[in-house]
Amino acid sequence: MVTMRQQLVSDTGMKFAGTNPKRYLTIHETGNTSPGANAAAHANLQSRRWEWATWHWTVDAREAVQSYSHNLRLWHAGDGQGHGNMSSIAVEICVNSDMSRAAARQNAAELCAHILTTEGIPLANMVQHNHWSGKNCPTFIRGESRWDEFVNLVRVAMGGKPDPKPDPKPDPKPGKQTTAQVAEAVYAGHYGNEPQRSARLRDAGYDPAVIQAEVNRRYYGGDGSAPAPAPAPSGGSLAHMALRTYRGDFGNEPGRSAKIRAAGFDPAAVQAEVNRIYYGGGGAAPAASSKKSNAQIAREIVHGVNGRNPWGNDPQRSQKLRAAGYDPKAVQREVNKLL
């Protein structure tokens, strides 16, 4: 059984009011492949009250460390006041290059089995971060098509037998479940994402539009129309969107603007808020005299920030650096000194 310990953080600004009902378990990966970016390092980061995100557990090939009580609603799923942030426990799996990722997944499976069992959460309610916000996370598990394998590891750790046919399609017999029941299954991720979701619903004898309307009505309120953007936990929705944009939830251009519009926001207004909050000034593009040095930016590129590289890879990295007022060549020289 994986070694588990607590390094609880007493308080954080990155949480929502109320008590977490603990209906779901959300699986993340840190995205930080740098040597030494293990569970202890990420727990220490949270202990310093890192301001960009919060999660309950971090696990690597050696141990699992709990940073926050399961009762807290933390900011980790990228879905505002949706069920990801408000109703789930978050587990971050480390991917640092100086350890066995297979061993980390095995430890994560044992940790998840423990959480599901002790909190009374069904295995069907263990979902990927991608389920809540569309972000490509857990990146390695998704990219290597290991999700069904991971679910089986958790099932076995809970005392069950491996599923010989992972990810079965829904029962094709129409009328077996009510619209409300199918909507709940869709929201929990049992039918996957589009375009496969609609195809699976049709195969099972359901109208995807009717089911989506029920999902919207049940989980977002209203009359079944498309949900409005979730408000930020504090400080206004635009500020929340700026944070999500800055930390990469919406990717890079040209797709970023389309995703922001789909969430109901003006991309120009969100970018102005990003510039205002993170680069200073009145929303204009940041000046070259940024508060960070080229050496500091280079360290962020090489070592990441909380398991993520906020500057990405080229050609997007150079574009981001120029937009933030940096000379990409000068920053690269500092990066080369660190490698």
Domains detected in the chain: 3-157 (3.40.80.10), 179-220 (no CATH), 230-286 (no CATH), 289-339 (no CATH)
Name the pLDDT band for 171 (thresholds 50, 70, 90). very low
Q: How many residues does the chain have?
A: 339
H-type helices in the chain, by residue range? Answer: 39-47, 83-87, 101-119, 129-133, 139-143, 147-157, 179-187, 196-203, 208-220, 237-246, 255-262, 267-279, 294-303, 316-323, 328-338
Contact call for residues 307 and 97 (beta carbons, < 8 A) = no
- The per-residue pLDDT for range 49-107, each reduced to its tens digit, is 766 678 999 999 999 999 999 999 998 888 888 899 999 999 999 999 899 999 999 99
Residue-level pLDDT at 189:
63
- The per-residue pLDDT for range 1-60, each reduced to its tens digit, is 899 999 999 776 678 889 999 999 999 999 888 889 999 999 998 888 766 678 999 999
Residue-level pLDDT at 116:
96
Which residues touch 31 (CB under 8 Å, ≥6 apart)?
A: 95, 137, 139, 304, 307, 308, 309
Tokens linked to 208: 């995807």
**Ramachandran angles phi, psi of 140, nearest 5°:** -70, -40
Mean pLDDT of 193-218: 76
Residue 281 pLDDT greater than 50, yes or no = no
